[in-house]
């Protein structure tokens, strides 16, 4: 009997933060917990690349204002990615705007890290 491994696909995730005045403070208040979870997913190979999205003004400033997240996930299905996003502290703590999150299948045209 042969066992077949699940086929993994890559998905691009764009998770913008909410825009209310307290959104940035909420992000900072749960950031360490978010980074713990991300580190675990990076180590297991689920998150292939990821990071914070910044305001354009952040490029010329010492203060970096985070306004969302973007990452590429490797998973069996878009539903798996959706569950992962919905279980992230940024989602449950009201940092990410659930109405604006985008998850799309992704095919890389360049080598992957």
Distance between CA atoms of residues 25 and 28, nearest Å? 5
- Whether the CA torsion 102, 21, 86, 112 is positive or negative: it is positive
Indicate the pTM of the whole model: 0.88
Instruction: Name residue, tokens 């764009």.
Output: 14
> How do residues 38-93 score in pLDDT, each as one tens digit?
999 999 999 999 999 999 999 998 888 999 999 999 999 999 999 999 999 999 99
Q: Which residues pair with 106 in a beta bridge?
A: 10
Q: 72 with 66: CB under 8 angstroms?
A: no
> How do residues 81-110 score in pLDDT, each as one tens digit?
999 999 999 999 999 999 999 999 999 898
Q: Output 88-93 pairs: Cβ under 8 A, ≥24 positions apart.
A: 88/34, 88/37, 89/30, 89/33, 89/34, 89/37, 90/15, 90/17, 90/27, 90/30, 90/34, 91/15, 93/26, 93/29, 93/30
């Amino acid at each position: 009997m042969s066992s077949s491994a699940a086929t993994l696909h890559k998905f691009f995730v764009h998770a913008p933060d909410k825009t209310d005045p307290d959104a940035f403070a909420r992000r900072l208040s749960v950031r360490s917990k978010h980074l713990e979870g991300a580190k675990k997913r990076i180590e297991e190979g689920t998150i292939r690349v990821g990071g914070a999205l910044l305001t354009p003004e952040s490029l010329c400033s010492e203060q970096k204002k985070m306004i969302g997240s973007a990452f590429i996930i490797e998973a069996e299905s878009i539903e798996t990615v959706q569950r992962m996003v919905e279980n992230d502290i940024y989602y449950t703590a009201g940092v990410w705007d659930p109405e604006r999150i985008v998850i799309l299948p992704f095919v890389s045209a360049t080598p992957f890290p």
